[in-house]
Structure 1
Amino acid sequence: MMIRRALAAACAVATVVSLAGCGASEEGKIRIGIKFDQPGLGFKKSGTYVGFDVDVAKYIARYLGYSEDQIVFKESPSKQREAMLQNGDVDMILATYSITAERKNTVDFAGPYFVAGQDLLVRKGDDSIQGPEDLDGKRLCTATGTTSAKNVKEKFAGGVQLMEQPGFAECATALFSGIVDAVTTDDIILAGLASASRGRLEVVGKPFTEEYYGVGIKKGNSELAAKINDAINQMIEDGSWQRAIEDNTAGTGYQPNAKVNPPHATEGEGHDVIATEE
């Protein structure tokens, strides 16, 4: 592992040159796609960017030889992520981006750097929904282009009224106003929304999938995937990963699934995680 790290560190300068030379980033900078509207994960706040995805992105960038002021964060809505990578608008994407077989037809991944589970967010005190088994006839909201939307359509077809919105902030607003009965997406995203609601919303706490968050990169760049994996594994080993989780979910009561977290990053190196179809 130490030899591998040394080799990866030695290649960091080459990575910087490669990224800049291919025109995928502004001169001397790296462009990273994140969400701007997910509290606790990727959130734009007064001109700064905060959240777990942001912390992981900064760690990876430093490992590749970039200082924080050389990072350009770009908003990456769920339905635009593949196009942004294919078009070279960003060098990589960390935006609660689940690794799936379908997505791997058009982009590659490094990671995973986190394993989430799809869960439900409801109004505080609403005990009519205590798990996915209670969704029949309910009005549910999720974001367009997410694995969560596909899961609902495939697993609860006909029994759920699904509203799709551009982002989860819009779903939370619909939940506040009573337009929908619940919001569904990954548990760590819902924890951030619950925290931002100041006690008005709560996570049910019965996840029913496993979502492997990967770092999206342009197809065919296995060398970059290997370097990103080294950065993620080092972040886990030195304790930075755990501190980032704790800092970004403080006060929510959220705990990652210890059976699958922290993960070991091997994606893109011939030892890929099992990609789901969700």
Structure 2
Amino acid sequence: MQLNNRIAVITGAAGGLGMGLARRFAREGAKLALLDINLAGVTQLAEELKAEGAECLALHCDVSSSAAVDAAFAAVEAHFGRIDILLNNAALVPEKPEDEERRKRHYALLTQPVPRQSLEITRNMSDAQWKRFWAVNVDGVFFCTRAALQRMEPQRYGRIINIASIAGISAMSAHSPHYSATKGAVVAFTRAVAYEVAGANVLVNAICPGGVLTPPMNDFLSRQSPEQLNVLNQILPLGRMGKPEEYAALAVHLASDECYLVGTVINASGGTVI
């Protein structure tokens, strides 16, 4: 119960890694505000966690809207009285069929003796595609961090954990330069804000996951041939992707009173990036 009675806001909590974070934080005793654009999803999760004894509040929130974020954080404060922990997890990820095709071409360059060539992605990217990723993955982190700090700094206590990606610290997502750019921005933002607010006893850190075995990722893997899976495993030293609960265990430490890390960007990729 490392987080007993702490109030934690988790964005993008309706599925994937966000759901894994919520389940682990509930087991550690945290009271949860679950935010997502998918209200039905977070409501269902909140009901499941309540049945297990957790105190949860489910809220609809589009993190790309500053007004929506401000309203959601005001509702959390009104319900729980304060906010101790923020997990900035909500993000767009490249998961459309065209993204899958680009990923395969990139992995072929990494693992097979094919001629060097351009992936021809950036030159064909639309303004709308670029701006949408930026709005959710970067603006959303800023809006939520600002709203959290407005509560954490006066109380002189807080923990902010930004879910970035190895895409932001390496070229492992060269197939998705728009996604890589946003996660690189989250890394830089983490370091700057961490230095800024450490004097108020607010600790800001980031986790850079590699592959996460979320339902969409499992769907992607299920569509691959044995040969394609072998190609993927060649770039994973552990031979597998990380489980949500493994990332959640790290987040629990960063959210706890035993954390002494400030502005740390943790490469949690099973050795994919060393």
TM-score (norm 2): 0.31
Structure number with the higher helix fraction is 2
Higher RCO (CA < 8 A, seq sep 6+): 1
